[in-house]
Structure 1
Amino acid sequence: MTIQFERRADRPDSAGRCVIHLRAYFDGLRLRMATAERCLASEWNESKGRFRKSFPGYQEANDSLEALAERMAKAYRELRTEGMAATPTLLKAALQPKVAVTDLPPAPLLVDLFGEYIEVLRARGFRFHTLKGYKTAHNTLIGFAQARPKRLTVADYDAAMHDELLGHLRDVRGAAQNTVASLVKQLKPFLAWAQENRGQTLAVNPAKLRVEWEDMDKVWLSAAELTQLETALLPSNLVKVRDAFLFCCYTGLRYSDLTSLHAGNVKEWNGERVLKLTQTKTRTGVSIYLSAPAAAILDKYAGTRERLLPSTANQVMNRYLKQICRLAGVEELVEVVETVAGRIMKRPVSKWELVTMHTARHTFATQSLLRGMPVEVLQKVLGHSKIQTTMIYAKVVEDLQHQTMRRIWDGAPAMTAGTTAKEAVCMVEPAA
């Protein structure tokens, strides 16, 4: 048996200290377990696998590592002597102190540890929307735990319990596949954290929990539908929502960025105006040319409020948008594909029922590609860190596919006949 100690550098605490792990190699197997020690990189000697003198109480800490290695080797020898095959599970169990069951404190509940984990993420600087997703997962786990007759701890969460949770999500809560996948995605790092940072024994390997995402068709508006929205006669209470939505169609802004626009985001460029802002979701800086329709909406509300454009709660705007699109005649039938009780269900839905504020961003992306904007330029405007994300829009632009085939086979122009300069609303700031 070979025993080594290493400092894991991938999950530092708030002070930058990382856990010291024991690694044991025996009979073609490998065991890795966390010790109770933590230190900074400057306090650890990698080549020797021991603490440096700069670590407070380094001698006692190194003696503790030596004692742990001796206990591991002794447990391995005893198992071999008894004719038992040594396994990582048996060796870990042998190292546990023999404590009477009555002396053990009750194991913390899984939902309580998950709440603690969220606070840890907050302390580490995770962003608001990420924390919001974890809070949603936390509430879901609370509902699942309350529906069970017994208390649920991390040690209880085995493969069977995982399957029970997935069934609860689908059968009781009626969750869609991507909602289920999102919770599993958040559960995996939590379980790893509970094991490595809170010393919890796991009954399942987090890395083996599968996350299966379902591709969802993106909803976007055509140039003709944008014109319908521009010219629709609407009640006065819907006009501001329509204008805000159209502005996002012309610029590709997310709702979160629309609501925080201020005068400092508008800059002069070559006699025109551009938007320069840092995106709320990704903290990525973007620069967007204000086309004539976008500038006209901006001017319409100039000086009327602290923020550049009117907005209200996202849910309220989404509800109003469905009314607006219905009044504007955005009634093309689209196919909605859902997985219900394991079966693929398809049904036709009028497009106005599916429109949300985020539809504006999809519309900007697809219309930009249709008008010939290079994918690399669109990537910069949308603020995507990876071009693969932008390429998702290229895959859904069927019009572009048809136009390209028509140009190649029939010699027709790439842009749809009758397209005017006014319709080319999705423009970007040219390179200087």
Structure 2
Amino acid sequence: MAKIKFLLQSKSENSQIYIRVSISQKVSIKKKTGFTINSKDWSETTGLPKQNNPENKKLSNNLKKLDPFVIGNLNNDLAGGVLIDAYWLENQINNCFKRVVKTDTGLLINHIQYILDNANTRKVRTNGGVKIGLSKETIKNYTVFKNIVLEYQNTIKKQIQFIEITNTFVDKFTNWLVNTKKYSSNTTGRELQILKTVCIDAEKNEILITPYSKTIQHFGESDKDRYIQTLSFEELQQIKNTDYSDLEQLKEFKKTNPELTKNLSLTPETLDNARNWILIGCEIGQRGGDLLKITNENIRYKGGNMYLDIIQQKTNKSVTIGIIAPHVIEIIENNLPKEIPHQKLNEYSKVVCKLAGIVEVVKGTKLNTETNRKELGNYPKHELIASHCFRRSFASNYYKKIPTAVLIGITGHSKESLFLTYINKREDKDSNADLFMKFYEDLNKDKTPEMKLIKNGTND
């Protein structure tokens, strides 16, 4: 049975009080409690401060509080396979008295904060070399991860040390993310990937980590479990041809669709504006944040052709899109839509699509506002349309019609495998071979056939 003992290691007027936990005859760990006392006020008989003044009585009560706290957690963690060492004991002391150790670099939460504090000067590798500063999206992901770790620490009632991030820890953390937080496979996999990244970064900063933490496996949804929504060329034509100018129809629609139209101003102008963003978005293949920032300054002409030059916010990549669809050229030149908040565009897009008759019931995931979690089910398609569908629509509609390398150059994906995952397609090697043969035929179709000399086997 484990035993707790408090002791001093000096005879000074300001002696540190230590706690020693004896787990067995051969295994014991010892740490400073953070409390100090004049050695003359220490009782070797009781192993506690003498009860000769109010201050010593209070100190004695604190130590008596720590004793059962450590023993209780020790029993639980031994049963759970948790590593019991000096780091563990230090965490118990800090948690018992609710101390925050802001200077301890061995704490996971502190290194996440270190990354956030230095976000604007961190070096990031890109396809073009190295850039300085984390993107807004990356900073957001680290901030979310930090809050998740803080919540998990509150659940397990201890601060997480890097040295504790073992296979057992990751299994428990994964179980909590999936079963308690109800996170999807994609979200859980992303948080585990960030955990692994933080551990590797900590080691680069000479912080001791476990070998396992560098091999943490992250995951996502399998192809059969992924449901993406896109707007086909036919559906885009429906949206383009729908008349949104009937005010009586809009009033009736708002009345019969209160949830869909809540907090929206349904006017011909607002719906035309959203429709134009949809039509442009499905033709240029950019993220919603980049789409909504397009102005006349992004437009240029060369040889009578229209081009859009965009620097993607997420990746800092510079991409150029050639605009050839007549209806999109007309919108950009004569009726460039006004910027609206990203979330508003998502809300208006659902209305635009329903009014256009895009109401087929499809399988997909939809946010449950009560649980704040996405739920898989069968829903009318318009309810699942948002700005991220525009970029996927572009990629899906033009896949196999335009060489994948050209599409990747427009969407900004770093490699073909990511692009194919994005549109939920497997690599089609026959398609690549077919494209090669088609291009080969096009290259050689105007060439004059070469005359060949055929020998007849004689000297004549």
Normalising by the residue count of structure 2, what TM-score does the alignment of the two structures yield? Answer: 0.56
SS in 1 for 2:306: strand
Q: Which residue of 2 aligns with 1:6?
A: none
Aligned pair in 2 of structure 1 residues 385, 108: CA closer, same or farther (>3 Å)?
A: closer
Q: CA deviation at 1:107?
A: 7.1
SS in 2 for 1:288: strand
Q: Are 1:252 and 1:364, in contact at CA under 8 Å, matched by a contact in 2?
A: yes
Q: Which residue of 2 aligns with 1:185?
A: 193
**Which residue of 378, 383, 390 corresponds with 2:407?**
378
Based on CA coordinates, which of the two structures has the bigger radius of gyration?
A: 2
**Which residue of 252, 277, 292 corresponds with 1:259?**
292
**Which residue of 377, 388, 392 corresponds with 1:358?**
388
Q: Which residue of 2 aligns with 1:211?
A: 218
**Which residue of 108, 111, 114 corresponds with 2:109?**
111
Q: CA deviation at 1:141?
A: 1.0
Q: CA deviation at 1:239?
A: 2.4
Counterpart-to-counterpart distance in 2, 1:249 and 1:109? 45
1:151 aligns with 2:159: yes
Aligned pair in 2 of structure 1 residues 314, 188: CA closer, same or farther (>3 Å)?
A: same
Q: Are 1:159 and 1:204, in contact at CA under 8 Å, matched by a contact in 2?
A: no
Query: For residues 277-288 of structure 1, what are the structure 2 equivalents within 5 Å?
Result: 277-288=310-321
Query: For residues 127-146 of structure 1, what are the structure 2 equivalents within 5 Å?
Result: 127-146=135-154
Normalising by the residue count of structure 1, what TM-score does the alignment of the two structures yield? Answer: 0.59
Unmatched 5+ stretches in structure 1? 1-92, 94-101, 302-307, 339-344, 402-432
Q: Are 1:318 and 1:356, in contact at CA under 8 Å, matched by a contact in 2?
A: yes
1:230 aligns with 2:230: no
1:298 aligns with 2:296: no
Aligned pair in 2 of structure 1 residues 326, 283: CA closer, same or farther (>3 Å)?
A: same
Counterpart-to-counterpart distance in 2, 1:346 and 1:129? 25
Q: CA deviation at 1:263?
A: 2.2
Q: Which residue of 1 aligns with 2:180?
A: 172
Counterpart-to-counterpart distance in 2, 1:223 and 1:161? 49
Q: Are 2:392 and 2:423, in contact at CA under 8 Å, matched by a contact in 1?
A: no
Q: Which residue of 2 aligns with 1:317?
A: 345
Q: CA deviation at 1:357?
A: 0.3
Aligned pair in 2 of structure 1 residues 222, 157: CA closer, same or farther (>3 Å)?
A: same
Q: CA deviation at 1:346?
A: 6.3
SS in 1 for 2:118: helix
1:289 aligns with 2:317: no
Identity of aligned residues (%): 24
Aligned pair in 2 of structure 1 residues 192, 117: CA closer, same or farther (>3 Å)?
A: same
Q: Are 1:250 and 1:364, in contact at CA under 8 Å, matched by a contact in 2?
A: yes
Counterpart-to-counterpart distance in 1, 2:333 and 2:243? 20
Q: Which residue of 2 aligns with 1:270?
A: 303
Counterpart-to-counterpart distance in 2, 1:300 and 1:285? 25
Runs of 4+ in 1 over 6 A off after TM superposition: 104-107
Aligned pair in 2 of structure 1 residues 107, 298: CA closer, same or farther (>3 Å)?
A: closer
Q: Are 1:249 and 1:363, in contact at CA under 8 Å, matched by a contact in 2?
A: yes
Counterpart-to-counterpart distance in 2, 1:267 and 1:275? 7
The one-letter code of the counterpart of 1:353 is: E
Query: For residues 25-44 of structure 1, what are the structure 2 equivalents within 5 Å?
Result: none
Query: For residues 35-54 of structure 1, what are the structure 2 equivalents within 5 Å?
Result: none
Q: Which residue of 1 aligns with 2:125?
A: none
Q: CA deviation at 1:195?
A: 3.4
1:269-309 per-position Cα deviation (integer Å, ceiling 9, x unaligned): 222321122222222222222221111211333xxxxxx53
RCO comparison, higher one (Cα < 8 Å, 6+)? 1
1:130-186 per-position Cα deviation (integer Å, ceiling 9, x unaligned): 111111111111111122223333333333222222122122221101100101111
The one-letter code of the counterpart of 1:358 is: H
Aligned pair in 2 of structure 1 residues 333, 199: CA closer, same or farther (>3 Å)?
A: same
1:71-108 per-position Cα deviation (integer Å, ceiling 9, x unaligned): xxxxxxxxxxxxxxxxxxxxxx9xxxxxxxx9x99775
Q: Are 1:375 and 1:391, in contact at CA under 8 Å, matched by a contact in 2?
A: no
Q: Are 1:332 and 1:350, in contact at CA under 8 Å, matched by a contact in 2?
A: yes
Q: How big is the alpha-carbon RMSD for the aligned residues of Structure 1 and Structure 2?
A: 3.2
Aligned pair in 2 of structure 1 residues 193, 284: CA closer, same or farther (>3 Å)?
A: closer
Q: Which residue of 2 aligns with 1:86?
A: none
SS in 2 for 1:118: helix
SS in 2 for 1:277: strand
Q: Which residue of 1 aligns with 2:27?
A: none
Q: Are 2:271 and 2:352, in contact at CA under 8 Å, matched by a contact in 1?
A: yes
Q: Are 1:369 and 1:394, in contact at CA under 8 Å, matched by a contact in 2?
A: no
Counterpart-to-counterpart distance in 1, 2:300 and 2:409? 18
SS in 1 for 2:378: strand
Counterpart-to-counterpart distance in 2, 1:265 and 1:337? 34
Q: Are 2:135 and 2:315, in contact at CA under 8 Å, matched by a contact in 1?
A: no
Q: How many pairs align? A: 286
Q: CA deviation at 1:256?
A: 2.0
Q: CA deviation at 1:224?
A: 1.8
Q: Are 1:258 and 1:309, in contact at CA under 8 Å, matched by a contact in 2?
A: no
Aligned pair in 2 of structure 1 residues 226, 187: CA closer, same or farther (>3 Å)?
A: same
Q: Which residue of 1 aligns with 2:118?
A: 120
Aligned pair in 2 of structure 1 residues 196, 276: CA closer, same or farther (>3 Å)?
A: closer
1:107-136 per-position Cα deviation (integer Å, ceiling 9, x unaligned): 754322211122234321222211111111
SS in 2 for 1:174: coil
